[in-house]
Structure 1
């Protein structure tokens, strides 16, 4: 059914009216859910995400992103078929979590540093959860296991990199951004030259640049907060009218004959809407279910991200011509690949993580602590250090690739 069809419009209107009536009937539940979503946004998302978006905007205005782009061009173009500036998005996306990568991709597209197809490739594999959430809230907070954190982190980020390698073949005949000019200047000097040119083209005084960065970050975060609150209410309403229970029962009927544990149907439905609820539901599955299944479902939920995150990304990308459909397909493929990698690497990661953390500790011994309490400053410090570490690693690999390429051409 086409979205331009009158029937589609009628169904959409009826669904909205039904949702409003449900909202009125369960007003107390809706209010509590809204407050809970607002608390999550204000205490966690806002303070930890605002500095990264502001600093990213400033770095783009100062031309630092172009400096990074020139240095990472020998790595990002051959591997992921995106310009070197995509390395900046990769470092920030992996360390800061969704939807920071979508915001940075949008800005690069608006500045003309990415083509449409390159933007679709980039946002499809750089939109991930941040390590503090994956290893702290999910692994330690829900599963009470530090070893689980290593398993989830490796499968989540490794599958994201593999998705980038796969998506390099997305839209192979589409237009690409302008490649680097071939000059005799050393790569660092070319990077400095690109940074200076970008700063001159921008032309804004630093005060104006700072104000625009803060304004853009606030607009983005208010949009993110709105989606968090709305989906928090929707999830509670669907639970109140037993819609999620009905869907999970139907899902269990279909997945049961395929050998899939029926107990995970609730976790899948919860994770379809919101990543935190899905990961938590996977952790409370009865102990009779194998731990590897729990890890696989949790990894898939983390890689999928939830419709709440997808709505945020779609809203951000709507400012450009970057299509959302490739991103949705990539999220589904990312979830499937992460689950497969969990089964494949389970035994090696379990042994390595047990040896790494403590040789005398049994596998997946429960930790006494709950969700780690981290301040916004600790979150920023950790994510900033991780982003710098990822950037340094990418620089080193890019320099190595550049040296190997130069050696072959001689």
Structure 2
């Protein structure tokens, strides 16, 4: 029986190789989509349940927080918010990261709202000719972070049961963003003459009613687009999780590598859709520090679901997604390393007992404020050094 399976596998791989050679890698996506369609036809009730779960996730958790942000940010941009923020915060936020001061609004949006809104408004700034293409590519890799609401609320509080672990992961995420600003190529060189050419004020004579209407229409369009990605990836993830062959393969890998099954499953599914992966890892039996390292990587990497959303926003500008994914992988590794170092500090002296109790943690509010102040001062220090 095993010999027959091996024979069939070899035949299948040979046929796949011939198809790829003839039609390119598009054949892989065609086959995968066809298999998913067959699964949906064979299990309609189950797949409808997966779809409903995705819709509930979007309308109960994502849409209520996403839609108001989109409307308000669009209003800010309509009335010259890019220029206002670039003048007030440009030097503090953008220059230490090697970016034009016109990038400051996209960085703020990414910091407070998370992905994929950073990519959405980075593209908007580039489309308005406020930054050049190299700065735009650089900005995309920097302004693509998890939101505080997701990291502290969903992962820290809901999944890990400890808000301070959420703060740790958020801090690692922000510091990895700063690190990428220091190591990415094509640092922006401040040139006042070229910078002033590009900056012009939008919305001086714009009617507030028209601006509000346009902002709502754009917000609905983008929110529903994001919702579509969430729903389809909810279906795909649940189909993969329930696939017997997938689980058997993971068990074999787990046995061979001695890595726990939940860790492999969480990493693979997390690299497809970050929320599911984080949830699996937090429920696994591995030690707490390893959990935090893996969670830090997944949150920063963001997963193929978020990457697909980013691609839908940037594809018309011919951005290299291979390069984008490469730098996101590096940022994920940096974030994990930062998490490892932070876990050694007395501020974040977690223990397995603390995690299991989900109650007490030996940190006070003054220590949190101290860490926040240090993070705020870091860009200012870098700016002074560079000047």
**Smaller-chain TM-score bracket:** 0.7 to 0.9
Q: Alpha-carbon deviation of 1:76?
A: 4.8
Q: Alpha-carbon deviation of 1:327?
A: 2.1
More RCO (CA 8 Å, sep 6+): 1
In 1, distance between residues paired with 2:327 and 2:191?
Answer: 26
List structure 1 segments (4+ residues) > 6 angstroms apart after TM superposition.
1-4, 400-405
**What secondary structure sits across from 1:285 in the alignment?**
coil
Matches within 5 A, 1:256-271: 256=258, 263-271=262-270
Partner residue of 2:51 out of 18, 25, 34: 34
Q: Alpha-carbon deviation of 1:10?
A: 3.5
Partner residue of 1:233 out of 228, 232, 235: 235
Partner residue of 2:304 out of 275, 282, 307: 307
Matches within 5 A, 1:5-404: 6-76=23-93, 78-167=95-184, 169=185, 171=186, 179-181=191-193, 197-199=200-202, 203-249=205-251, 251-252=253-254, 255-256=257-258, 263-286=262-285, 289-348=286-345, 351-353=346-348, 363-364=354-355, 366-367=357-358
In 2, distance between residues paired with 1:6 and 1:81?
Answer: 42
In 2, distance between residues paired with 1:180 and 1:209?
Answer: 31
Q: Alpha-carbon deviation of 1:104?
A: 0.7
Q: Alpha-carbon deviation of 1:106?
A: 1.2
Q: Alpha-carbon deviation of 1:74?
A: 3.0
2:366 match: none
Using the TM superposition, name which of 81-90 and 218-227 deviates more: 81-90
Q: Alpha-carbon deviation of 1:235?
A: 0.8
Q: Alpha-carbon deviation of 1:90?
A: 1.4
Contact 2:270 2:303 in 1 (8 A): yes
Q: Alpha-carbon deviation of 1:88?
A: 1.4
Using the TM superposition, name which of 67-76 and 30-39 deviates more: 67-76
Q: Alpha-carbon deviation of 1:61?
A: 1.9
**Deviations 1:256-303, CA, capped at 9 Å, x for gaps:** 4xxx556411111121111111111111111xx321111111111111
**Deviations 1:239-262, CA, capped at 9 Å, x for gaps:** 222354245335536754xxx556
**What secondary structure sits across from 1:318 in the alignment?**
helix
Contact 1:148 1:364 in 2 (8 A): no
In 2, distance between residues paired with 1:3 and 1:212?
Answer: 44
Going from structure 1 to structure 2, the CA distance change for 1:317 and 1:345 (only over 3 Å counts) comes to same
Using the TM superposition, name which of 19-28 and 315-324 deviates more: 315-324
Using the TM superposition, name which of 231-240 and 8-17 deviates more: 8-17
CA RMSD of aligned residues (A): 3.5
Contact 1:124 1:326 in 2 (8 A): no
Q: Alpha-carbon deviation of 1:15?
A: 2.6
Contact 1:115 1:177 in 2 (8 A): no
Contact 1:66 1:194 in 2 (8 A): no
2:3 match: none
In 2, distance between residues paired with 1:15 and 1:182?
Answer: 48
In 2, distance between residues paired with 1:177 and 1:51?
Answer: 35
**Structure 2 unaligned blocks of 5 or more:** 1-16, 361-371
**Deviations 1:209-252, CA, capped at 9 Å, x for gaps:** 22221111111111100000000001111122235424533553
Using the TM superposition, name which of 306-315 and 150-159 deviates more: 150-159
Q: Alpha-carbon deviation of 1:178?
A: 8.7
**Deviations 1:369-407, CA, capped at 9 Å, x for gaps:** 9xxxxxxxxxxxxxxxxxxx99x959x966x888888xx
TM-score where L is the length of structure 1: 0.76
TM-score where L is the length of structure 2: 0.81
**Structure 1 unaligned blocks of 5 or more:** 184-189, 356-361, 370-388
Q: Alpha-carbon deviation of 1:9?
A: 3.7
1:187 match: none
